Amino acid sequence: MEGKAVSKLDSEYWQEVGQSSPYWGVLSHEKFRGQDLDPATREEFFSEGRADVDYILSQIRRIRPEFAPQQALDFGCGVGRLAIPMRKLSARVVGVDVASSMLAAARRNAELAGCHDVEFFESLPNLQFDWINSYIVFQHIEPARGYEILAALLERLAATAIISLHFTTFRDQRVLFRGLQESAFGRFDGQSYVSFERAGLLDMPIYEYDLSRLTFMLNRAGFKSLLMNHIDHGGSHGAFIFGVR
């Protein structure tokens, strides 16, 4: 995969990741590279997923203590790291991911976990959900496409619903120049750098979203009160947004 210039809309890239290193494609730590994991590393991977779901649940209950969803969606579910433990909280869970190779691993993992009824799709199903979750996903989608996807997700929310959505919004000096390394040509005006042409990528790029645009979209969708928590993943900063409609 090294040196392959890709768009995050390129499903072939994610197919390759799903076939070669599906767990690293979800959590990009070197210990998760490879087609499968040894039992101890596998347990570590999924225990982190359970801990993340516990955290998400704790934040949701701050704004809706009686949280008991009937239909939940995990967008960008990968190998099922969050979708599987979400099944303990919701009567029905659907996972969506662009790569069939990722979904094949997710289905195997769900079977191993005894969650035989978690459903997985390559595209958004025409269903209504009262909980939509997405974590460490939109950061790998170019914002022009990401805003379109967010709009499609919001259209699939039930009249009364919960969201737990994570977006990266800025970066610090630890990773500030990584974007420049991914650019072959560009322009700098003293404040902003504009890339004209992309160079080869060493790893998955990270994209930042406009928080004002995100809150505008959520407000227009009926979310008048939002809880936002700051997330720092090694210099990529973002907001984990929780909301009740």
Burial 131-169 (b: 16+ CB within 10 A, else e): bbbbbbbbbbbebeebbebbeebbebbbeebbbbbbbbb
3-class DSSP state of 100: helix
Name the H helices within the chain. 11-20, 39-63, 83-86, 100-112, 143-155, 178-181, 211-220
Q: pLDDT class for 11, splitting at 50, 70, 90? A: low
SS3 state at 135: coil
Domains with residue ranges and CATH for the chain: 11-244 (3.40.50.150)
**pLDDT given for residue 143 in this prediction:** 94
Tens-digit pLDDT profile for residues 183-212: 788 887 888 888 887 765 556 778 999 999
Is the predicted pLDDT of residue 238 greater than 90, yes or no? yes
Residues 6+ apart with CB under 8 A from 2: 200, 202
